[in-house]
């Protein structure tokens, strides 16, 4: 089992920033960055869980829900990576953390 605390912490930090951001900031692109990241993490989780199934795209539920969507997707991926055999998902954890940090930076939050 892997330590996924770095991923969950990064996701929680970004989600907290999204939750506390003013609506105007969310509408200027921060929410779009969060949703794009949530979608990417969700696709990665779905592919890791069932590579044969076509991933389902996370819907756009609005700027005020994106933080929750990000938490769900990030925690799902973290749990899948935590329980995966170490050699089967090599590098994916670090890549996911990098994606979260980059999206948070692009969002300006």
Around Cβ 44, how many Cβ atoms within 10 Å? 21
Residue ranges of the domains in the chain?
A: 5-107
**Predicted pLDDT of residue 91:** 87
Cα separations in angstroms, 85 against 1, 29, 67, 71, 89: 7, 37, 29, 23, 7
d(CA 29, CA 66): 12
The pLDDT tens digits for 30-75 are 999 999 999 999 999 999 999 999 999 999 999 999 999 999 999 9
Looking at every residue in the chain, the average pLDDT score rounds to: 94
């Amino acid at each position: 089992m892997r330590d996924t605390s770095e991923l969950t912490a990064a996701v929680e930090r970004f989600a907290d920033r999204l939750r506390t951001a003013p609506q105007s900031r969310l509408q200027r692109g921060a929410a779009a960055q969060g949703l794009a990241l949530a979608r990417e993490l969700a696709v990665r989780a779905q592919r890791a869980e069932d590579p044969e199934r076509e991933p389902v795209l996370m819907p756009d539920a609005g700027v005020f829900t994106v933080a929750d969507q990000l938490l769900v997707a990030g925690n799902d991926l973290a749990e899948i990576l935590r329980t995966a055999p170490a050699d089967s998902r090599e590098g994916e954890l670090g890549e996911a953390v990098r994606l979260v940090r980059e999206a948070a930076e692009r969002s300006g939050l």
